[in-house]
Amino acid sequence: MRRDPEATWHGRDVQTRAIVLVGFMGAGKTSVGRALSERLGCRFQDLDDRVEAREGRTVADIFRDSGEAAFRRSEHAALQDLLAEAKTGAPLILALGGGAFVEPANSSLLDSVATPTVYLDASAEELWRRCGVDSVVRPLRSDENAFRKLYEVRRPKYLRAQLRVETGGRDIEGIVNEIVDRLGLERSGKEM
């Protein structure tokens, strides 16, 4: 499928050039985001990858050397850049890091651009298990009790997203189909 930089999607009563995936670490934001971008014929960006490119170091290094506050500032700047690019550039599926959506500056920014936000949810047990088997270094995954507490603190904020999709025990294709169906997405623009 060829990607069309002029394409947009029409959902239920809205035209959008970006869809933002949010959720706790291990929820599947990157995997689902890549599959969704392929399905819709658009580009995919992981916000943490953009932060690393801007900073020239890994998220873990930023946390270790400069602290979480410095990381959050860079994350917000990267989010601003990506949303501005989506306004005028190719449509975008954007996966936010686990803490990005719960930061007030980021959620306000997303509200101001009225882009759909999709919360990918799963149980704390499943998320802990997923994070233990992948190769991603997660600075805030220290021990299981701290992990569960952080999940419980963040979950009510994730629930403010426009759409909640359960990912527990599901395959990526089924999750992507649900997002497309529930947002009522159809591509418009040139054939891809």
CATH number at residue 19: 3.40.50.300
Residue 173 predicted with pLDDT over 60: yes
Domain assignment present for residue 115? The answer is: yes
Q: What is the rounded average pLDDT of the residues 27-56? A: 94
75 in Cβ contact with 55 (< 8 Å): no
Which is more confident, 164 or 90?
164
Question: CA 69 to CA 88: how far, in whole Å?
Answer: 30
Q: Element (H or E) spanning 92, and its range?
A: strand 92-95
Residue 2 in domain: no
Within a domain: residue 9?
no
Across the chain, mean pLDDT equals 84
Closest CA to 176 of 118, 128, 90, 125: 118
Q: Does residue 185 sit within a domain?
A: no
Q: What is the per-residue pLDDT across 84-129, written as a single tens digit (0 to 9) for each?
A: 988 888 889 999 998 999 999 999 999 888 889 999 999 999 888 8
**Is residue 93 domain-resident?**
yes
Provide the residue range defining the domain that includes 98. Answer: 15-176
User: Using alpha carbons only, how large is the chain's radius of gyration in Å?
Assistant: 16
- Residue 14: pLDDT over 90: no
The answer to the question of residue 165 being in a domain is yes
Percent of the chain past pLDDT 70, that is, above it, reads: 82
Whether pTM > 0.95 for this model: the answer is: no
Strand arrangement of the beta sheet that strand 186-188 belongs to = 14-16, 8-11, 186-188
5 within some domain = no
Domain count of the fold of the chain:
1
With beta carbons less than 8 A apart as the criterion, state whether 14 and 53 touch: no
Q: In this predicted structure, what is the pLDDT of residue 90?
A: 80
Residue 64 lies in a domain: yes
pLDDT at 184: 85
Q: What is the mean pLDDT of residues 153-169?
A: 95
Return the pLDDT at 87. 85
* Model pLDDT, residue 136: 55
Segment 128-159, tens digit of pLDDT:
887 765 655 555 556 788 889 999 999 999 99
- pLDDT for the residue 131: 75
pLDDT at 7 (0 to 100): 44
pLDDT of residue 86: 87
